[in-house]
Structure 1
């Protein structure tokens, strides 16, 4: 507690502090004067002068107390203060839904350690750079699920992002339902701009229980005025991927780029292809720059005067010196 107090202590009249340098000078002069003032006489045996008593052990204590009192007075004149800085970030944010594919193919290792781990990391970095935006998280595979609703509680959101695992949902790829669920989360938003960042590494592979196809979801997004940025994830070439427990070779048709481009173009967004970790990082940075948020940081500084602490300490040392000088350490002429 005392350490924290000193840690935030500042001095309004810091130019006074160099005067503390006179304290060692006064100590030097005191002991030099004491040595010069001592008288000498001859005795036959000095044994009696070697015994230590409480009185002769504390002979210089009043001087040290007076020196401490002077040091406290000089420190008080420097006006010690506790500086309290309060910062608050405010602004008009954008509502964003991160719509992330968590199907089995996201465990493919053309990104190290795998696609899902890299996409989690990049999404987390994106969230950290948007302090005033409401951001939510929707995941999809063979079904879609709202992992975290729109919120400015980014700490909790980051925990949810880091907790995403493949296998949380039935396997498959329902891009349409993931997009529709994301639009639904933005339906009650009153933000000036509503965007979805949809990341997937496959094409529509719906189960029989699918309710909404991608084109229907696209029309819903257009009707709600939601802008969609789409990201196709996967290395170029014949990279093998994991899909429903079976390794397949990624052909040009595995990633439905035509669909992703159509969704992005018709909603006013852009399509990006992420072929490695660096390109995915650049994509999130580009989206971050295009979707600007008005941010204002308000900083307030408060100062609490603390000189009374040092003045009281000085009075205490002076009072203790007087008590000792006229009682226990009293001297006679």
Structure 2
């Protein structure tokens, strides 16, 4: 909640403040009625005898009129257009660096579509869960090699443009040997380079930085421990999101495998080699734990639950961007207080007909105020 500096309070329409004379004049009348009611109750208890003990509400219907008086005063202050300087402590955002596995095993069809398409649907939910006001996102794909696709950006169009154009298949071809390997070391290395480059271009950021690894954990290579140690030196946790199933499936053969008709004369046709790939939960869980994060698995929780958990954990680590000061109109706060008081006043009305009369009157007053505030 913003802090309001009352010393800077002023009114754009101070000529309307004289109307406060009306509720101020009603306050002594209300106090006199309270005193009179107390005297009546005292006399009744002394001079009236009944078989059962009578209980009287101390203020009775006078509470209704107190709420009306206060609501009237609050409405008049709102009509005077109060303005003050407010201070709001701005919390830093989140920097999500997504490390997306694009190796050959992501073509396996053991989930809806295949693992790559399933990952893209999750990344879309992850992007939709960000506020994009202070939050930023970056994306790097990796197999044996890694390629950054999106640098840290606050532009959601850049991120969703990538998802729209590469949601069917990864850019790494099955015909390339480098696609048939999953090198997490290279992925984390490029993730750190993205952060270093952003600091070089824009300076240090108070945003909380998080790696989100989306992979099946199949056929890890590289010195993962060294990369994780480097990430921990940066203070960046890694959250692993597993995609695939324990049963797994067959990786499709590359399109350039020669058939019998394409072989040279005298060459023998080789039997196709089928590679079976399954979700390696234990590797992903160990990597997430070593990097100070957690392991999640698609289709074990909803995508939105996983995205919200990751973003919420990152926000808890975020710093602040300092105090933001601005001039703010406060009339809506007084109108809200008047509305609450009117609703509270209706709770003290015992006669239903009287309640509807007061409700109609309050609606008419609200209409008049709305027209005046335009």
TM-score, length-normalised on structure 2? Answer: 0.48
- Paired with 2:303 and 2:110, the residues of 1 have a C-alpha distance of 13
User: What's 2:186 paired with?
Assistant: 177
Instruction: Quote how far apart the aligned CAs of 1:96 are.
Output: 1.1
Tell me the secondary structure at the aligned position of residue 234 of structure 1. Answer: coil
**Deviation of residue 278 (structure 1)?**
5.5
- Out of 145, 154, 158, which is 1:156 matched to? 158
Judging changes above 3 Å, is the alpha-carbon distance between structure 1 residues 224 and 291 closer, same or farther for their aligned structure 2 residues? closer
The number of residue pairs the alignment matches comes to 201
Change (3 A) 1:151 1:97: same
Q: Would the aligned equivalents of 1:99 and 1:139 in 2 still touch at CA under 8 Å? A: yes
Shift of 1:256: 4.1
C-alpha displacement of 1:229? 0.3
- Per-residue displacement from partner, 1:21-80 (whole Å, max 9, x unpaired)? xxxxxxxxxxxxxxxxxxxxxxxxxxxxxxxxxxxxxxxxxxxxxxxxxxxxxxxxxxxx
- The answer on whether the counterparts of 2:248 and 2:279 sit within 8 Å (CA) in structure 1 is no
Q: Deviations over 1:238-283 (max 9, x none)?
A: 2213166454334xxx544343223322332111233x38544532
Pairwise mapping of residues 286-325 of structure 1 onto structure 2 (< 5 A)?
Answer: 286-292=309-315
3-state DSSP of counterpart to 1:291 = helix
Unaligned runs of 5+ in 2: 1-89, 255-272, 330-374
Q: Does residue 1:166 correspond to 2:176, yes or no?
A: no
Give 1:98 deviation, angstroms. Answer: 0.9
1:221 aligned to which of 210, 214, 231: 231
Deviations 1:66-103 (A, max 9, x none): xxxxxxxxxxxxxxxxxxxxxxxx86211110110111
- Give yes or no for contact 1:95–1:135 (8 Å, CA) kept in 2: yes
Whether 1:124 aligns to 2:128 is no
1:191 alignment counterpart: 206
Out of 290, 306, 312, the position equivalent to 1:283 is 306
Residues 243/101 of structure 1: CA separation in 2 closer, same or farther (3 Å cut):
farther
Deviations 1:94-121 (A, max 9, x none): 1110110111211211221111112112
User: Counterparts of 2:238 and 2:308 in 1: how far apart (Å)?
Assistant: 16
- Residue in structure 1 matched with residue 81 of structure 2 by the alignment: none
* Aligned residue number for residue 257 of structure 1: 281
- Give CA-to-partner distance per residue, 1:210-232, whole Å, 9 cap, x none: xx521111111011111110112
Q: CA–CA distance in 1 between the matches of 2:295 and 2:144?
A: 23
Q: Over the residues paired in the alignment, what is the CA RMSD in angstroms? A: 3.0
Distance 1:226 1:271, change over 3 A: same
What is the aligned partner in structure 1 of residue 372 from structure 2? none
| Superposition map of 1:1-333 within 5 A | 92-130=92-130, 131=132, 132-164=134-166, 165-168=169-172, 170-171=178-179, 172-187=181-196, 188=199, 189-206=204-221, 213-236=223-246, 238-242=247-251, 245=254, 247-250=274-277, 254-274=278-298, 276=299, 279-292=302-315
Q: Does the 8 Å CA contact 1:225/1:267 hold for their aligned counterparts?
A: no
Determine the C-alpha separation between the residues in 2 that align with 1:200 and 1:144.
14
Whole-angstrom CA distance in 1 between matches of 2:124 and 2:114: 16
Contact 2:99–2:191 (8 Å) recurs in 1: yes
Distance 1:150 1:135 in 2: 5
Answer whether contact 1:118 1:277 (CA < 8 A) is retained: no
Between the aligned partners of 1:234 and 1:148, the Cα distance in structure 2 is 25
- Asked if 2 retains the 8 angstrom alpha-carbon contact of 1:104 and 1:244, the reply is no
After TM superposition, give the deviation of residue 192 of structure 1 in Å: 3.9
